[in-house]
């Protein structure tokens, strides 16, 4: 299967039978090529940012879409309610309408502000989780160190 994406940017919209709309946008950001996946379902938006590194070839993008994208999106914990975005219509779409939508998406460079907000919230949540687990680990290490110190002191004074 061969796919060509113009101007180094690929947008792959996927419509699921359950009314889930997914869009993958690949663009160059600073040093790396980045893919942003936006999933819209039931008025909620989930966003994931994947760093490809060097310029991804079409097979590499399809490999990511087919094998890695869905498990990653299922693992995302946070979804944000989005106002002003339309739900993806279920059912069959007229081919001409689909072509117009695809052309419009190709002209639209970058990701939506809703996606940026969702990425920021996901980042903040992971940062809080990491801080709390780091704090717990540090407290556990200090308690273990204290126990060793007390045990060592008891060993020294055992004979008195």
- Looking at the predicted structure, is the pLDDT value of residue 4 above 50? no
Tell if the pTM clears 0.75, that is, is over it: no
Mean pLDDT of 85-105: 73
Most confident segment among 6-10, 18-22, 51-55, 137-141: 137-141
State the Cα–Cα distance between residues 106 and 6, nearest whole angstrom.
8
pLDDT recorded at residue 80: 58
Q: Is 140 exposed, middle or buried (0-12, 13-18, 19+ CB in 10 A)?
A: exposed
pLDDT digits (tens, 9 = 90+) for 100-151: 887 887 776 666 677 777 778 888 888 988 888 988 999 999 999 999 999 9
DSSP string of 44-83? EEEEEEEEEESPPPHHHHHHIIIIIHHHHHHH----EE-S
pLDDT recorded at residue 79: 58
- Looking at the predicted structure, is the pLDDT value of residue 19 above 70? no
Which 8-state DSSP code applies to residue 90? P
State the Cα–Cα distance between residues 48 and 38, nearest whole angstrom.
7
Parse the chain into domains and list their residue ranges.
Answer: 6-121
Sequence-ordered list of residues with C-beta below 8 angstroms from that of 115, at least 6 positions apart, any chain = 36, 38, 45, 47
State the Cα–Cα distance between residues 68 and 86, nearest whole angstrom.
27
């Amino acid at each position: 299967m061969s796919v060509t994406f113009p101007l180094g940017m690929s947008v792959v919209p996927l419509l699921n039978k359950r009314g889930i709309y997914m869009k993958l946008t690949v663009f160059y950001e600073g040093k790396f090529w980045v893919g942003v996946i936006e999933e819209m379902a039931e008025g909620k938006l989930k966003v994931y940012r994947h760093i490809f590194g060097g310029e991804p070839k079409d097979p590499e993008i399809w490999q990511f879409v087919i094998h890695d994208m869905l498990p990653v999106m299922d693992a995302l914990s946070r979804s944000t309610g989005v106002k002003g975005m339309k739900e993806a219509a279920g059912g069959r779409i007229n081919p001409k309408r689909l072509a117009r939508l695809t052309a419009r998406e190709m002209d639209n460079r970058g990701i939506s502000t809703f996606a940026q907000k969702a990425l920021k919230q996901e980042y903040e949540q992971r940062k809080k989780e990491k801080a709390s687990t780091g704090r717990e680990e540090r407290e556990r290490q200090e308690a273990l160190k204290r126990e060793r110190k007390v045990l060592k002191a008891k060993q020294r004074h055992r004979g008195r």
